[in-house]
Amino acid sequence: MANTDKDKLSRRHFLKAGVAAGALSTVPVPLQAAVTEGAARSKTDELPFAIRKLLKKATLPKADGARVVVVGGGWSGLTMAKYLKIHNPAFDVVLIDKRPEFISFPASNSWLADQVDLDFLTHSYIDAAKSHNYHFLNTTVLGFDRDSKKVFTSNGYLNYDYMVLAPGIEYDYSRIGVDDPVAQMQLYNNYPGGFVNSSELITIKRKLNTFKGGTFILNVPNGEYRCTAAPYERACMAAAIFKKRRIRAKILLLDMNADIRIKKQGFEKAFTSLYGDYISYLPSSEISQIDIDEKTVSTDFDDYSFDDAIIYPPVRASSLLEDAGIANMKTAQKIANTDPYKYHVIGDEHVYVTGDSRSQPFSKGGHTANSEAQYVAEVIAAHALGKEVRWRSPQTMCFSAVDINPLKAMSIITFYKFNKQDKAFEFDRTHMMEDWNTEGGQASLAWAEGMYRDMFYK
Amino acid sequence: MKAAIQYMLFVLLCLNITNTQAVEKITIKLDFIPNIEDGKTTFGVCARCHLPEAWGNDDGTYPQLAGQHVNVLMKQLLDIRNGTRHSSLMFPFVQSRTVGGYQELSNVVAYISTLPMNPAHSKGPWQNESKQYEQGKKTYQRYCAGCHGDNGEGNNELVYPKLQGQHFQYMSQQIRRIKSGVREVHPAMQAVVNELDLEQLEQAINYASYFAVPKEDMATSTTWRNPDFN
């Protein structure tokens, strides 16, 4: 590999990779020189072990074609890796995720209420990589240098020809009035939201199965949060569990929005006809403060005491976009400036942003990410050949479980179009099936199974 | 619809063979009288993605199912069910644990065949009198019309799909899949696809996308919504 200036690591980007930043400040030699491939051995030897490890190349088979590194093995990244290989088998595709296995968030509310088991949700990255002929690297991404096209991970760095960033979302506790990092951590540990890390789901299931009664607060965040229907669905599943356990419990569903955001009729009917004794729905409940010691949630109108809670704060794009130096910190979601049709970062046609960290306002969820990634994989394969593909809308297919034993669900399918006058995406045709029934319940599980098959198996 | 739908089931009789005796194929013919009312209920599973009108999508991701021959629909369901036709997402939907057995499949295809077709399916890029349209017409008539019919009407008895009203993009995607070997089809169809190049195939499909759908098979307007689900 040519030892050019381009191979040098940009200090600016590297320092942004929080994990390494502390260690770097004690580094005695200029990083710029030290990290250059072929730098004098004596200099790199002086670096702390952790840094030396980072500056090694990650162990991977030699790339036999242009390398595409996909950062994030969620619904977008998994689909992307598969379809990149389908559209261009010559690509050397590497999928990176810090999780050792995949646990699905879609369909997890049905798991909370014991309608499917954990095996249904759990899948292996090894199976996925093997079925679809790409590499899976179980490691944590620490930073980027887009000038020399490198991704730094805790297993060493990788060079890329194309990089797809699909790192998903992070919670933004500051938007519910919790700014102090210690308070944020306490809130997360005591009342996790259940939309980012699968351990949160396991905690929530335990909470629902052991709750002794009293007030249980759930909330619906505002803005473009992940999975629009899920907080309402979760209220239904939580109520179904309490009903089955015959405990005296009241779910306060504090909606930071003025009204139910999606499938309004279906959810309203469920709240009243099935769970009238369990769910109190409170719209326009903007959370302004949470007192963890006193166990109270404050809105502009009232204070609510609780015995237990699931607090789902508003979300933002993953801070990995910041680390890559592409996040616009002035936007509420901290999104990147990307081409709305082709998904690449403006000014860098080798870096793409997809999935829930995308810049377009499409509904954040599994099906949207899957259908979008099938298209973007085609875009990247075409770009490598100097070609273009016709834009097509992602699809949002979204099931909501409402009742259990047997599982009953409702669904919506929607498409998007670009409004050239407003220069913004808007909903195209939308079809709602809000009469929840067992056909919907069967379809919801068949859908999830079909998506897992697509991402993990042949 | 009172006529029975016939399906041939090919069953491999696997005796407990300890020597290398040949295993014989046994063919069983079964008749099913579809129950359209029950088919409507089952279609409640399908309609989540295919939508209650089953009109398909102009980007090729969903085909127009409305108006398709029952035997063609059934063949696809069975092919997807046994993995001959690969579709990750459809696979769990057509398993007996989701949709039921042959009776339920018969019911649902019979129901779908009663739905009026999309009056504005998407057409190919080359209109009548263009060079490509004319070229496609020649190719179609020579290679395709024998089975799919002069007007793309297909044949239920012989299980030839109706092409009238099918979205151009859907046919285009499928033909690419057949060409690249991803989708397995009848040897006669495979031979034709192998014989022609992509440009010729695309032109033939373009021509087929302009076949008129008989008025009596079509919905009255594009805003028609299936009253069974609305």
Asked whether the CA dihedral A82, A88, A89, A95 is positive or negative, the reply is negative
Residue of B213, B224, B32, B208 lying closest to B109 (CA atoms): B32
Instruction: Output the six-digit token pair for A363.
Output: 């509904």
Q: With an 8 Å Cβ cutoff, is A399 touching chain B? A: yes
Both ends of chain A: CA-CA distance in Å?
36
Give me the mean pLDDT over the B199-204 stretch: 98
Give me the mean pLDDT over the B133-155 stretch: 97
pLDDT at residue A174, as a whole number: 94
DSSP letters for A300-339: SS-EEE-SEEE----EEE-THHHHTT-B-TTSTT--B-B-
- Shortest Cα distance from A314 to chain B (angstroms)? 29
pLDDT at residue A27, as a whole number: 38
- Shortest Cα distance from A324 to chain B (angstroms)? 34
Residue of B72, B30, B57 lying closest to A429 (CA atoms): B57
Angle between helix axes B168-179 and B187-195 (nearest 10 degrees) is 90
- Chain B residues with CB under 8 Å of A440 CB are 44-45, 48
How many Cα neighbours within 13 Å face the side chain of A353? Answer: 28
Mean predicted lDDT score pLDDT of chain B: 91
pLDDT at residue B18, as a whole number: 54
Residue B131 makes CB contacts below 8 A (sequence gap 6+) with none
- Distances, alpha carbon A359 to alpha carbons A174, A289, A391, in Å: 21, 29, 16
Rounded CA-CA distance A14/A324 in Å is 9
Q: pLDDT-derived band of residue A45, with 50, 70 and 90 as boundaries? A: confident
Model confidence at B49: pLDDT above 70 = yes
Residue of A75, A68, A98 lying closest to A166 (CA atoms): A75
* pLDDT over 70, % of chain A: 91
Rounded CA-CA distance A23/A19 in Å is 8
- Shortest Cα distance from B91 to chain A (angstroms)? 7
Rounded CA-CA distance A61/B102 in Å is 48
Q: pLDDT by residue (tens digit) across A435-454?
A: 999 999 999 999 999 999 99
Nearest CA in chain B to A440: B45
Closest in B41, B59, B93 to A446, CB measured: B93
Model confidence at B6: pLDDT above 90 = no
Model confidence at A191: pLDDT above 90 = yes
Quickly count helices (H) and strands (E) in chain B. 10, 2
The DSSP H or E segment spanning A97 is strand A92-97
Q: With an 8 Å Cβ cutoff, is A446 touching chain B? A: yes
Q: pLDDT-derived band of residue B19, with 50, 70 and 90 as boundaries? A: low
B24 CB-contact burial (10 Å; exposed 0-12 / middle 13-18 / buried 19+):
exposed
Residue A215 makes CB contacts below 8 A (sequence gap 6+) with A249, A250, A252, A304, A305, A306, A307
Please say whether the beta carbons of A112 and A66 come within 8 A. Answer: no
- Amino acid identity of residue A322, one-letter, is E
A433 with B59: Cβ contact below 8 A = no
Closest in B41, B89, B229 to A451, CB measured: B89
- Chain B residues with CB under 8 Å of A393 CB are 59
- Shortest Cα distance from B193 to chain A (angstroms)? 20
Q: Name the pTM for this structure.
A: 0.89
Please say whether the beta carbons of A314 and A176 come within 8 A. Answer: yes
A431 with B52: Cβ contact below 8 A = yes
Q: pLDDT by residue (tens digit) across A222-280?
A: 999 999 999 999 999 999 999 999 999 999 999 999 999 999 999 999 999 999 999 99
- Chain B residues with CB under 8 Å of A442 CB are 45, 98
- Shortest Cα distance from A438 to chain B (angstroms)? 9
- Chain A residues with CB under 8 Å of B225 CB are none
B92 with A393: Cβ contact below 8 A = no
Question: What dihedral do alpha carbons A149, A155, A156, A160 form, nearest 10°?
Answer: -20
A446 with B59: Cβ contact below 8 A = no
Rounded CA-CA distance A289/A282 in Å is 16
Please say whether the beta carbons of B70 and B113 come within 8 A. Answer: yes
A439 with B45: Cβ contact below 8 A = yes
A451 with B88: Cβ contact below 8 A = yes
pLDDT at residue A14, as a whole number: 39
Give me the mean pLDDT over the A277-293 stretch: 95
The complex scores an ipTM of 0.87
Model confidence at B117: pLDDT above 80 = yes
Q: pLDDT-derived band of residue A39, with 50, 70 and 90 as boundaries? A: very low
Closest in A413, A439, A446 to B41, CB measured: A439
